[in-house]
Amino acid sequence: MAEKVQLWALALASCDSATFKQLSLFGGKIQNIATVSHSGLSLQIPYAQNYYAKNVTNLDACEVAITYTHPGYNDVINTVVWLPTPDHWTGRFLGNGGGGWSAMVEDNATLAWAASEGFAVVTTDGGHIGGAGPEEWALLSPGNLNWNLLTDFASTALDDAATLGKAVTKAYYGKAPDHSYWNGCSQGGRQGYMMAQRYPEQYDGILATAPAVGYGQIFMQFYWAQAVMNDLGEYPSPCEFEAISVAAVKACDPIDGLEDNIVLSSNECDFDPSTLVGHEHVCPSLNSSATISAAAATVAKETWKGSTSPSGELLWPGLDKSASLAIHARTQCFNGTCSSNPAPLPIGWMKYFLAHDPDFDTTNISTVQFDRLFRESVERYSSVIGTESTDLTDFKKAGGKLLTWNGVADLTLGRRYIENYVKKVYARDPNASDYYRYFEAPSVDHCGIGPSGYYPGDALKSLIEWVEKGVAPETLEAKVRNQGFKKANLCLWPKKMVYLGGNGTDASSFGCK
């Protein structure tokens, strides 16, 4: 105990900006370095960012905040590193991803979790503060995109963070990390794929879940259901869409042989929402009721199918039937009249990145106009912020390992898009499973948000085993978040989880086929 106290005393003495005064960044200029010594920190950390809930107590850590710029870019980027005490450091380094328009998760809890697990951890704001929407930074002026800030956010700041984070780690502990990992979901998943594709030597292992690999395409896909409703001239109530989602899960759930509100066999489910037309449904969560319309059934089918061109070409795959329609088919009702209520993400994308005009009218975009805007997204931005490239050759050569899981019931991004990506990678390299593995999590929502489905909160541990011991995961241990006693193992793609019979709460009751 005395030795640990002595080590921490030495660490406290070195948790000072002077310790890091030799930091430099090629192409960048360090403007400020500030440090904070956290002592005895205790936090209740919820489920998030690929891990289970945890009580952190008496955590001691050194926080290092670096502000820098790229001369000529007129940018300011903030990178933060947390360092556990020397006796608690495992020799591992972790890059932590963001979500939405945020390059980083905006709370100390995420960094505290990583430090409590023995990681030196880094995160970056990507050149704009927090989750600020594009209205705050995307345009230099109407009509003029701020390409420098977009590039920072898309890729440059991610590489910088890894370089700076490792330098801070070495300055503090006196040695470089033994192994480096990435952890991120959604935007953080896209960031992970960007690191694997563009900066393949920065991280030994990358956990990139529910990754937004087709960034512009995904943002446009958010609007597809709205465009369909605009064509129809009808906007069904939220209760109608909830009723369809509930009925779909009820119809699809028994196919796997176990009725537990978790859908294992959605691909075999042929539920048709048209069978609900004319039926009344009560929505307790919305404090309302509604009669299902033909328009609601049409929008649901289109959302499940995915966006298409006027000639019928599939542009982007849709949601699984087990996913809620609440994000894509958003509407709002006042005094019995319902109207479109699209999610903010596609609105911001179209206004600032496609039209470059804050006043661009997005209220009545048709499916024909959608097709044009979708293609513009691909042409302009795939090479900038997209991570659709299936060439992971350099990452393979660097010895990296990429692990991805995605919720089948992801109501935000869906799951078919990433399955299509995986198929292309494996078609390109039949031995891709040596360095790239994908798992599907039945009935799990976006990034594990929500209580249902089998959530693999220890996937990072599986990645570490793969990198450091060569034990490639064939399954991922998972459990239902609000029913910790209910467990199962996720299956390595292309295998699917199947119910074998017996106690539905035991992992042994499920297999992979």
Structural contact between residues 204 and 399, judged by C-beta atoms closer than 8 angstroms:
yes
* pTM for the predicted model, two decimal places: 0.95
Look at residues 386, 354, 388, 359 and name the one whose alpha carbon lies nearest to residue 370: 354
Structural contact between residues 460 and 181, judged by C-beta atoms closer than 8 angstroms:
yes
Q: What are the extents of the domains in the chain?
A: 2-214+386-483, 219-381
Three-state DSSP class for residue 149: helix
Distance CA 166, CA 177 (A): 7
Going by C-beta distance under 8 Å and a sequence separation of 6 or more, which residues neighbour residue 49?
96, 97, 105, 110, 113, 183, 184, 185, 188, 447
User: What average pLDDT does range 191-219 have in this prediction?
Assistant: 97
Q: Give residue 132's pLDDT.
A: 77
Lookup: tokens for 457: 């909160």
Cβ-in-10-Å burial (0-12, 13-18, 19+) of 468 comes to: middle
Region label for 336, one of left (φ > 0), alpha (ψ between -120 and 50) or beta (otherwise): left
User: What average pLDDT does range 80-102 have in this prediction?
Assistant: 96
User: What average pLDDT does range 322-339 have in this prediction?
Assistant: 96
Residue 351 DSSP symbol: I
Q: Give residue 477's pLDDT.
A: 97
Out of 256, 340, 446, 462, which one is annotated catalytic?
446
Residue 439 has pLDDT above 50, yes or no: yes
For residue range 378-427, what is the model confidence (pLDDT) as tens digits?
A: 999 999 999 999 999 999 999 999 999 999 999 999 999 999 999 999 99
Report the percent of the chain where pLDDT is more than 70: 96
**Known catalytic membership, residue 141:** no
Q: Is 2-214+386-483 a CATH 3.40.50.1820 domain?
A: yes
User: What average pLDDT does range 456-480 have in this prediction?
Assistant: 97
CA distances from 262 to 271, 362, 444 (A): 16, 36, 9
Out of 410, 443, 445, 452, which one is annotated catalytic?
410
For residue range 342-355, what is the model confidence (pLDDT) as tens digits?
A: 999 999 999 999 99
Residue 107 has pLDDT above 80, yes or no: no
Distance CA 163, CA 277 (A): 57
Q: Give residue 164's pLDDT.
A: 99
Three-state DSSP class for residue 217: helix
Query: What is the bridge-based pairing of β-strands 77-84 and 54-69?
Result: antiparallel
Residue 1 has pLDDT above 70, yes or no: no
**Known catalytic membership, residue 410:** yes
Is residue 72 very low, low, confident or very high in pLDDT (cuts 50, 70, 90)? Answer: very high
Residue 457 has pLDDT above 70, yes or no: yes
Report the percent of the chain where pLDDT is more than 90: 89
Structural contact between residues 493 and 419, judged by C-beta atoms closer than 8 angstroms:
yes
Is residue 106 very low, low, confident or very high in pLDDT (cuts 50, 70, 90)? Answer: low
Q: Average pLDDT of the chain?
A: 94
User: What average pLDDT does range 48-56 have in this prediction?
Assistant: 86
Going by C-beta distance under 8 Å and a sequence separation of 6 or more, which residues neighbour residue 234?
293, 295
User: What average pLDDT does range 296-309 have in this prediction?
Assistant: 98
For residue range 117-140, what is the model confidence (pLDDT) as tens digits?
A: 999 999 999 999 877 789 999 999
Out of 14, 155, 180, 186, which one is annotated catalytic?
186
Distance CA 58, CA 294 (A): 58
User: What average pLDDT does range 152-169 have in this prediction?
Assistant: 98
Distance CA 62, CA 86 (A): 10
Geometric angle at alpha carbon 403, from 480 and 419, rounded to 5°: 80
**Known catalytic membership, residue 186:** yes
What are the φ and ψ backbone dihedral angles of 450, each rounded to 5 degrees?
100, 160
